[in-house]
Amino acid sequence: MALIKSLRGKTPVLGSNCFLAENAVIIGDTTIGNNCSIWYGVVIRGDVNYIKIGDNVNIQDNAVIHATFEKFPTNIGNNVSIAHGAIVHGCTIHDNVLIGMNAVVLDDAIVNSNSIVAAGAVVTKGTVIESGSVYAGSPAKKIKDIGPELLEGEINRIANNYHKYAGWYQEPE
């Protein structure tokens, strides 16, 4: 079972039908919605500000979710995939978003709905990602608009697949 730790009078709140890897760490003022999966090595540290995670969110291996003390909480919408090794820190991520492998999203950034932050991108402090777009690079810049093929073929496909994968881990051996 994941390490779920109360801190400073706050205990993580978990929705229904969530998969938590055995070595995931969830601390403090953290709320996780329904049908989420928190994978191996993930750290969600709601110690310095709150973290709210919506429904059907997958946070993949070795990702880190944190916030900024007394300044920037972290809010993650519904149907979001945060890929392997990503860092999401003190920002807002709206619905139907893919944060790519090893991407970094920093304080006070806003990632609007139906968007992709490409693998390895660095979204600097205060950046606003346009809805329906792909951002890449360091610092992240818009490289193209999202068409239906990316919305269905990447954002929704990955979110749905991770919900399926989590089910494999919840089945009896």
Answer whether residue 171 shows pLDDT above 80.
no
Q: Which domain holds residue 61?
A: 3-170
Per the structure, the count of domains in the chain is: 1
Q: By CB neighbour count within 10 A (0-12 exposed, 13-18 middle, 19+ buried), where does 9 fall?
A: exposed
CATH of the domain at 117: 2.160.10.10
Cα separation, 125 vs 110, in Å, equals 9
Given the structure tokens 């920093």, which residue do they identify? Answer: 106
Given the structure tokens 């919840």, which residue do they identify? Answer: 170
What residues pair up with 141 in beta bridges, in sequence order? 136
Each residue of 62-85: pLDDT tens digit? Answer: 999 999 999 999 999 999 999 999
Cα separation, 34 vs 98, in Å, equals 18
Each residue of 99-136: pLDDT tens digit? Answer: 999 999 999 999 999 999 999 999 999 999 999 999 99
Q: Positive or negative, the Cα torsion across 122, 166, 77, 43?
A: negative
- Percent of the chain with pLDDT strictly greater than 90: 92
Question: pLDDT-based confidence at 149, cuts 50/70/90?
Answer: confident
Q: pTM for the whole thing?
A: 0.96
